[in-house]
Amino acid sequence: MERLKLAGKLPAFAAKDIPFSRVGIGFEKLDRDVFDPNKAYDKVARIGVKKIRIQSGWARTEKQEGVYDFAWLDEIVDNLLSRGLEPWICLCYGNPVYTDLAKPVFGAVGCPPISTEREMSAWLSYVKATVTHYKGRVNLFEIWNEPDCNYSWRHCENEEIDHLRNATEYGEFACRTAIAIKEANEEALAMGFALGHVADLEYVNRALATGLYRHLDLVSFHSYTPDEQKRRHNAHQLKLLINRYNPKTGLVQGETGAQSRSDGNGAMKGFAWTPEKQTKALLRGLVGDLAEGVVFTSYFSTMDMIEALKGRLADKATYLDYGYFGVIGAEFDENGRSSGVYKEKPSYYALQALASLFQGNFEPCAIPYRREELPSRRVNGTDCADKTVQIEGFRLHDGTEALVYWNAVDLLTATYEGTLSLQVYGQKSDNIRLLDPRDGSLYTLPEAMLEDLGCGGIRLKNIPLTDCPLVILFQ
């Protein structure tokens, strides 16, 4: 960026200063008490996201049959609300009070209450109690977490998974759950699936065919891939399928992330992750989600924490599996709880800048442009001609129009720095700025990079191009 003139920083806004946002974050796993939320509340509020995902923790709330203790969850919900955040609740997981399979499982993860009508009845009572209890505070409830994944929908230990049977079971389970949500609060929104595999249209189709499509306001998917173009393609195909059943059903990207270290457990384990690559994955992925037009998109997660998806209570080692997806880093104590000083990572500041940029009502916007390949002294040749260059247009909340662009080279094996030239139409040539969302830095372009073509046309010459999104702002 040394060819540009630093003009300042994009203002950062706390959650309470933003009335509406389609950018969110995860605050999951407190049903298993894996980190100290009191050390994270203020930090997450300063990011400027609004939607924040929490998990309900049936096993933590109903330890005695028919007795609900929401005190632990009330503290979380009320602390988030007081800071301007908008919690939404994923209703999960099982409960050893009713389901034998859940008794040895850390957090009762992946133990659906479907084996007997007693289990299902207890689940529906819990759902109604939860929705009723949070009426006026929480209005969005997600039904289970990643039921299409083997760890999260099991009938017994070490079973051979019947994927299509599970899809039908989940459809029927989610139908009854969604009905219970609406009975408890007719204004509440019911969100289904929380898909672990967004490309598995067969699973989704079979579940929707049970009649589930009649009861859902939203469908959520998760995506863990270093290829944001593949993620967007899969999300688009999912929405096309949903539209066949009910085009009014909205699509939410409910959980996605990347690690900041290569030795973490969980999704994309063992990949060559670094803090820099985590930041790039966050920006490239979330921009793609917003360009695709999701209702909102949520990054996983606020904190580094244990994965704890296959843990057994009798074997602590099975849930001391540390993941480094957080935009806030931590150390870990002997029980796997995130401890020490909670410290912001580079990805924290990137998410903060993205939340500031995409606050309020914005929309994808088709800005006419044409790529050119001009001589470029910067690269001792010509501008980038790669087909991997991605360019997305947006009209922001204040009327500013933005082109977000990057070269989508392989995130794990390549980096890129070059130049790009564009003819852009329908814009003014004055007060054009470039935003680097990695840290919110704003730059003005030197005269050599700008040419007024007349009649609302502008040539942007040899502007910086990297493998991380940059933003041209037209005012």
Give me the domain span that covers residue 395.
Answer: 363-474
**pLDDT tens sequence across 80-113:** 999 999 999 999 999 999 999 999 999 999 999 9
Tokens of 282: 């966050």
Is 431 part of a structural domain of the chain? yes
Indicate the residue among 357, 378, 406 that finishes a domain.
357
Task: Judge whether residue 32 has pLDDT over 90.
Answer: yes
Say yes or no: 276 and 406 in one domain.
no
Asked, for residue 6, whether it belongs to a domain, the answer is: no
Is position 2 within any domain? no
Q: Same domain for 328 and 381?
A: no
- pLDDT(475) > 90: no
CB 460 within 8 A of CB 472: yes
Among 311, 334, 357, residue at a domain's last position:
357
What's the predicted TM-score (pTM) here?
0.97
Instruction: Say whether both 112 and 254 belong to one domain.
Output: yes
Q: What is the pLDDT of residues 159-182, one digit of tens each?
A: 778 989 999 999 999 999 999 999
Higher pLDDT, 150 or 295: 295
236 & 369 share domain: no
- Are 293 and 393 within one domain? no
Percent over 90 (pLDDT), the chain:
95
pLDDT at residue 159, as a whole number: 72
What CATH number corresponds to the domain at position 82? 3.20.20.80
Specify whether 119 is located in the same domain as 194: yes
pLDDT value of position 158: 73
Average pLDDT over residues 124-141: 98
Q: Spell out the residues 6+ positions from residue 307 whose beta carbon is closer than 8 angstroms to its own.
A: 265, 266, 319, 321, 322, 323
Please check whether residues 424 and 397 belong to one and the same domain. Answer: yes
Q: What is the mean pLDDT of residues 466-473?
A: 98
- Domain-embedded: residue 3: no
CATH number of 388's domain:
2.60.40.1180
234 shares its domain with 339? yes
Question: Domain total for the chain?
Answer: 2
The answer to whether the beta carbons of residues 331 and 340 sit under 8 Å apart is: yes
Tell whether 237 and 369 lie within a shared domain. Answer: no
Number of H helices, E strands in the chain: 9, 25
Q: Which helix (H) or strand (E) holds 390?
A: strand 389-395
Tell me what pLDDT residue 430 has. 85
Question: What b/e string do you get for 99-112 counting C-beta neighbours within 10 Å, with b at 16 or more?
Answer: bebbeebbbbbbbb
Q: So what's the pLDDT on residue 82?
A: 98
Burial class (CB in 10 A: 0-12, 13-18, 19+), 295: middle
Query: Which of 323, 357, 391 finishes a domain?
Result: 357
Which pLDDT tens digit goes with each residue over 283-328?
999 999 999 999 999 999 999 999 988 899 999 999 999 999 999 9
Indicate the SS3 state at residue 344: strand
Mean pLDDT score, 433-447:
97
Which two tokens mark 182? 């609406």
Average pLDDT, the chain: 97
Which pLDDT value is given to residue 1? Answer: 85
> Whose CA is closest to 60, among 97, 86, 88, 35?
97
